[in-house]
Amino acid sequence: KQEVTQIPAALSVPEGENLVLNCSFTDSAIYNLQWFRQDPGKGLTSLLLIQSSQREQTSGRLNASLDKSSGRSTLYIAASQPGDSATYLCAVSFVSGGYNKLIFGAGTRLAVHP
């Protein structure tokens, strides 16, 4: 059974720090891995999607890596800002019963203070 774990559960950092969020998954037979951002009272927004054949993806100050063989992904946020405060969710995708099933981790709650 696929399980996704995110460490740490919560993180508080001063503005300007570089930080790393971790995600691990138990079954390496995935199609892709996504990182989502969730703001209070709002839905999820996809930040980065890494295909199973890729090693990393970058968008602005965000960089996500994927090591499928070891079942790990990291989200690196450079020069953090208060606007980065949110919950970050990791989800792995694989085909099950004719659709692309997403299994989510519980998330890392990030607070960036000025």
Partner 1 sequence: NAGVTQTPKFRILKIGQSMTLQCTQDMNHNYMYWYRQDPGMGLKLIYYSVGAGITDKGEVPNGYNVSRSTTEDFPLRLELAAPSQTSVYFCASSYSTAGGEDTQYFGPGTRLTVL
Nearest approach, Cβ of 89 to partner 1 (angstroms)?
7
> Is 19 among the residues that bind partner 1 (CB under 8 A)?
no
Residues 59-78 binding partner 1 (CB under 8 A) are: none
Residue 12 or 46: the one with the smaller Cβ distance to partner 1 is 46
Q: How many helical (H) and strand (E) elements, i.e. helices and strands, does the chain have?
A: 0, 11
H/E/C letters for each residue in 19-62?
A: EEEEEEECCCCCCEEEEEEECCCCCEEEEEEEECCCCEEEECCE
Residues 31-60 binding partner 1 (CB under 8 A) are: 31-32, 34, 41-46, 49, 51-52
Mention every residue, 6+ apart, whose C-beta is less than 8 A from residue 99. Answer: none
Distance separating the N- and C-terminal Cα atoms of the chain: 41
Nearest approach, Cβ of 104 to partner 1 (angstroms)?
3
Residue 11 or 16: the one with the smaller Cβ distance to partner 1 is 11
Q: What is the DSSP letter of 84?
A: G
Q: Which residues bind to partner 1, rule: CB under 8 A?
A: 4, 9, 31-32, 34, 41-46, 49, 51-52, 89, 91, 93-95, 97-107
